[in-house]
A and B are shown apart, each in its own frame.
Chain A
C-alpha cells in the first residue's frame, strides 16, 4: 500500500479524538504500519486541535509536516485556513462548513477571514465542502459530525467501505453504533 497521511484539524471538543481512534483502527486493518498523534490537555478546551494519522510500510515521525498531507479533514473553516500549508497540492481537502468564532473574534480584537473556502479552492483543485452539522442533526445528534466527516473521507481513499464500518462498530459505544453508521453513510454518499 502506498503511504497515506491524513490530518484532522478542528476545535477542541468537536470530537476529533474519536475520529483519530476510528482512523487508527482502519489503519491497523490495512496491515501496514500506523501512527496517530494527537494533543491532549489544554487545547482540548476549545483551542485549535490537530491530529495526524500516518499509514505506510514504515512510519517514523508521527507528525505530518508542511506539504505532506494527502487528506486534510477540516472540522471548521478557520482551522482549514490555519493548516492549509500542510496539504499537498493535489490533497483531498474536506471542509465542514461550520464556523466557530475564536475568542479574539468574539471580543472584536480580530476578524474572522471572509470567503475561506473560495480562497482555498483558488489554489487547490480537490476541495469538498460538507454541511456536516446539518447532516448529523438529520441523523439525530449533532455529535455525529465527526462520523459524517469520516464518511466523506472514506470515499476518497482506496480502503473498502466495510473496513470503515467495522472500525466504527469496534470504536463507538454499542448504543450509538446505528446512529454513527447512518452518519457515516450520509457522508459516504456525498
Chain B
C-alpha cells in the first residue's frame, strides 16, 4: 500500500531503506524535516550538529569509518559546509555519503536564491534531482549506490516544492548494509599537497566516468511524444512542463551533474525546437549551448523565483490565463509577524526606544526589522551580526559602538556567533552582543540545539552554559535579563553599550510556542480607562488592533503574556473573566 509522504519524509525513508547508519544535520527550511523524520528510525544514529560544516564533517567521518552516512541542509548551509565538501570530493568515501541540499526558489524562507548545482559543479560532485516524493525515496537509494560505485560524495538537490509536497510513495525494506572495514590510507584521506595532487587526477577521471554513467542510467530518460517540441527539464520544473506542454517530447534528467551529453545529442536530433525548463540558473541550458545545441530557456523564462505551468504556457506558448472576475481591490500584504507572547518583542521594543543601531542575524527575531518595531539595521547570514558590529566599530569609531548592539539567537550564536565574539575580544573591540536565548531553535520549527540541554531524540544531555562560554573567551561583562522586564532590560543595555569593553547581554525567556510555557489567559481593554494613546500598539502585537474608534484585543490571538500591561500607563488592560492583569 502506498503512503502519502512529504518529499523530506520520503528522503528519510530512502535513507532508512538504504541501510544508512549515521545522519548529522543543522536545521534549515526547507530541509529540516529530513533529519526530523530520520530521527524517528532507531536503526539510524541521528543528531543536530552545531552547524552545517560540523554536520558534513561528522558524515564524512562516518563514511570513512565504513557506514552509509548522510547530512541535510538548506542551500545556504552548503556555503558553510563548502570547505569540507570541496576536499571530500578529493578523498572520496568508504561507506556511501549522500548530502541533501534544499534550494528555495521564490525565497519562501531564505535570504537568497542561490542554485546548488553551481556549487556542486565547482566542487566536482555529482547531483541527482528528484521531481516528486517517490523519486525522493528512489533517488536517495540510488545516490548511495552511485557514491560507493564511484567513490564520491554525492548531492541530492531538492527545491521547496519537492521537499514540502506530499505524494504517494511505495515503501520497501531496509537493506542490511554491513559496516565496511576501515583501513588506514593516508594517500586517500590525508589531503596534503603531495597526496591531493594525485587525488585531483582521480577526481577528473571520475567525472568522465560519471558522464558515461549519466548517459546510460535510467535516471535520465527520453519520453518521446510530439516531436515538434522537445523539452529538457528536471526536478519540479518537469512537473510544471508536463502540465504546460502535454504530449511534447521530454528529456527528463534525474542526474543533473554531470550531464549526459550523448543522450542530449540524441534527443536534440529527434525534435524540432528545444526548450530547457529549469528554475534559477541556466545550468542545463548553458551546457547545451556549449555543446552547440540551440536551445531556448532563459531568454523566455525568468532567472528569478518559482515557475508554474501558467507561466510556461504564457511565455512559451503565448497562452495567457484569463482573469475570471472583476475584482480590482488592492489587497494589503500579510508579512509574517512575531507571535503573541514572543519573548523577542520586549527586546526590540527597548532597542527601538533607545534608537540604537542594530546589526541583526537570522531567526524569528529578524522580524524585529518590520514595522512597528523597525529596529534591525542589517541581516546578512547566520552569525554576521557579531562580526558586523565589530566592523562598524572599527570603521566608525568607539562612539559608534556606544550606539550599536548585535542581536543573535541562541542557535545562531552557537552556529557561528561565538567565533565572531572571540574576534571582538582578541581585537580589543567594545561591542555589545545581545543573545536572544528562547531555549529553542524557533524559526525552523523547534529543534533542540546545544544550549537547550536535549538531543534530537529529546534525551537530556550536557547543556552549553552561555554565561560561562562568553566569560571563557574573555568577556568580563556578561549579564542575564528577562526581555519582558522592560525597565531592567533598558537599564542593562544602556550600561553595556556605554562600557569601554566587550559585553554580552543574554535576554532569556522561552519561546511562547513551547509546550511548557503557560500564560494567564487573554486580556481585554477597558474602554473607560483607555485613552487611545496607542503606546501598546508600538509593541507590534498582532492581537492588539486599532478599530478606528477604539483599540481592542483580539481574543482569538491574545495569549495573556501581559507585556502590554507594562507599557500601558492607564491600567486599561484586564483579564477576560475577571481578576486584574
A123 to B243, CA, bound (A): 27
Q: Which residue of chain B has the shortest Cβ distance to A120 in the bound complex?
A: B327
A105 to B540, CA, bound (A): 11
Given A28-B168, A81-B327: A61 and B108 interface contact (C-beta under 8 Å):
no
Residues of A42-88 whose CB lies within 8 A of B: 42-48, 59-63, 65-67, 78-79, 81-82, 84-85, 87-88
Is residue B371 contacting chain A, with contact meaning CB distance below 8 A?
A: yes
Is residue A27 contacting chain B, with contact meaning CB distance below 8 A?
A: yes
Add 9 more A-B contacts to A61-B236, A66-B321, A119-B329 (CB < 8 A): A13-B339, A24-B166, A39-B164, A45-B339, A45-B367, A46-B336, A82-B334, A100-B554, A104-B371
The distance from the CB of B370 to the nearest CB of chain A, in whole angstroms, is 7
Is residue B354 contacting chain A, with contact meaning CB distance below 8 A?
A: no
Which of these, B243, B327, B334, B364, contacts A60 with CB under 8 Å?
B243
Tally of A-B residue pairs with Cβ under 8 A? 185
Q: Would you call the interface of chain A mostly helix, strand, loop, or mixed?
A: mixed
A41 to B106, CA, bound (A): 13
Q: Which residue of chain B has the shortest Cβ distance to A109 in the bound complex?
A: B371
A101 to B372, CA, bound (A): 14
Q: Mark B538-579, 1 if CB is under 8 A from A, else 0.
A: 001010111000000010110000000000000000000000
* Cross-chain contact B4 with A103 (CB below 8 angstroms): no
* Cross-chain contact B546 with A106 (CB below 8 angstroms): yes
Is residue A25 contacting chain B, with contact meaning CB distance below 8 A?
A: yes
Residues of B36-90 whose CB lies within 8 A of A: none
Cβ of A62: which chain B residues have Cβ within 8 Å of it? 132, 161, 165, 167, 236, 239
Cβ of A82: which chain B residues have Cβ within 8 Å of it? 331, 334
A81 to B239, CA, bound (A): 28
Q: Would you call the interface of chain B mostly helix, strand, loop, or mixed?
A: loop
Cβ of B331: which chain A residues have Cβ within 8 Å of it? 78, 81-82, 113
Given A62-B165, A87-B324, A107-B372: A78 and B537 interface contact (C-beta under 8 Å):
no
Is residue B16 contacting chain A, with contact meaning CB distance below 8 A?
A: no
Given A107-B537, A119-B329, A133-B556: A40 and B4 interface contact (C-beta under 8 Å):
no
Cβ of B322: which chain A residues have Cβ within 8 Å of it? 67
Given A11-B334, A35-B167: A40 and B339 interface contact (C-beta under 8 Å):
no
Is residue A108 contacting chain B, with contact meaning CB distance below 8 A?
A: yes
Q: Mind listing 12 A-B residue pairs with CB under 8 Å?
A: A20-B166, A43-B336, A60-B239, A62-B167, A62-B236, A63-B161, A78-B331, A87-B324, A105-B332, A106-B542, A107-B537, A142-B556
* Cross-chain contact B335 with A103 (CB below 8 angstroms): yes
* Cross-chain contact B324 with A45 (CB below 8 angstroms): no
Is residue A185 contacting chain B, with contact meaning CB distance below 8 A?
A: no
A40 to B447, CA, bound (A): 14
A78 to B30, CA, bound (A): 27
Cβ of B2: which chain A residues have Cβ within 8 Å of it? 28
* Cross-chain contact B336 with A45 (CB below 8 angstroms): yes
Interface size on B, residues (CB 8 A): 60
Shortest beta-carbon contacts, A-B, top 8: A41-B109, A41-B29, A47-B336, A110-B332, A102-B334, A62-B165, A123-B325, A45-B336
* Cross-chain contact B323 with A85 (CB below 8 angstroms): yes
Is residue A89 contacting chain B, with contact meaning CB distance below 8 A?
A: yes
Cβ of B33: which chain A residues have Cβ within 8 Å of it? 40
A63 to B336, CA, bound (A): 22
Q: Which residue of chain B has the shortest Cβ distance to A82 in the bound complex?
A: B331
Q: Which residue of chain A has the shortest Cβ distance to B131 in the bound complex?
A: A60
Is residue B218 contacting chain A, with contact meaning CB distance below 8 A?
A: no
Q: Which residue of chain A has the shortest Cβ distance to B370 in the bound complex?
A: A103
Residues of B98-119 whose CB lies within 8 A of A: 108-109
The distance from the CB of A153 to the nearest CB of chain B, in whole angstroms, is 18
Is residue B467 contacting chain A, with contact meaning CB distance below 8 A?
A: no
Given A28-B2, A45-B364, A62-B165: A89 and B324 interface contact (C-beta under 8 Å):
yes
A7 to B29, CA, bound (A): 22
Residues of B322-358 whose CB lies within 8 A of A: 322-327, 329-339
* Cross-chain contact B29 with A65 (CB below 8 angstroms): no
Is residue B257 contacting chain A, with contact meaning CB distance below 8 A?
A: no
Interface size on A, residues (CB 8 A): 63
Q: Mark A88-132, 1 if CB is under 8 A from B, else 0.
A: 110000000010111111111111110000011011100000000
Which of these, B108, B161, B337, contacts A41 with CB under 8 Å?
B108
A98 to B166, CA, bound (A): 28
Is residue A37 contacting chain B, with contact meaning CB distance below 8 A?
A: yes
Is residue A38 contacting chain B, with contact meaning CB distance below 8 A?
A: yes
A109 to B330, CA, bound (A): 13
Is residue B309 contacting chain A, with contact meaning CB distance below 8 A?
A: yes
- Contact residues of B with A, CB < 8 Å? 2-4, 29-30, 32-33, 108-109, 132, 160-161, 164-168, 236, 239-240, 242-243, 308-310, 321-327, 329-339, 364, 367, 370-372, 443-445, 537, 540, 542, 544-546, 554, 556-557
Is residue A34 contacting chain B, with contact meaning CB distance below 8 A?
A: yes
Which of these, B108, B338, B370, contacts A39 with CB under 8 Å?
B108
* Cross-chain contact A43 with B323 (CB below 8 angstroms): no
Is residue A33 contacting chain B, with contact meaning CB distance below 8 A?
A: yes
The distance from the CB of A135 to the nearest CB of chain B, in whole angstroms, is 13
Q: Which residue of chain A has the shortest Cβ distance to B366 in the bound complex?
A: A42
Cβ of B332: which chain A residues have Cβ within 8 Å of it? 78, 102, 104-105, 110-113
Cβ of B367: which chain A residues have Cβ within 8 Å of it? 45
Is residue A36 contacting chain B, with contact meaning CB distance below 8 A?
A: yes
Cβ of A60: which chain B residues have Cβ within 8 Å of it? 239-240, 242-243
Cβ of A122: which chain B residues have Cβ within 8 Å of it? 326
Q: Which residue of chain B has the shortest Cβ distance to A142 in the bound complex?
A: B556
Which of these, B109, B308, B327, contacts A61 with CB under 8 Å?
B308
Is residue A12 contacting chain B, with contact meaning CB distance below 8 A?
A: yes
Cβ of A100: which chain B residues have Cβ within 8 Å of it? 542, 554, 556-557
A122 to B326, CA, bound (A): 9
* Cross-chain contact A40 with B29 (CB below 8 angstroms): yes
Given A61-B309, A112-B332: A42 and B109 interface contact (C-beta under 8 Å):
yes
Q: Which residue of chain A has the shortest Cβ distance to B371 in the bound complex?
A: A107
Q: Which residue of chain B has the shortest Cβ distance to A12 in the bound complex?
A: B336
A109 to B540, CA, bound (A): 13
Cβ of A44: which chain B residues have Cβ within 8 Å of it? 336, 445
A89 to B309, CA, bound (A): 19
Cβ of B542: which chain A residues have Cβ within 8 Å of it? 46, 100-101, 103, 106
Q: Which residue of chain B has the shortest Cβ distance to A122 in the bound complex?
A: B326
Looking at B161, B330, B331, B334, the one whose CB has the most chain A CB atoms below 10 A away is B334
Cβ of B545: which chain A residues have Cβ within 8 Å of it? 101, 105-106
* Cross-chain contact B166 with A36 (CB below 8 angstroms): yes
Given A36-B165, A106-B537, A111-B332: A42 and B4 interface contact (C-beta under 8 Å):
no
Q: Which residue of chain B has the shortest Cβ distance to A80 in the bound complex?
A: B331
Cβ of A42: which chain B residues have Cβ within 8 Å of it? 29, 108-109, 336, 443
* Cross-chain contact B321 with A65 (CB below 8 angstroms): yes
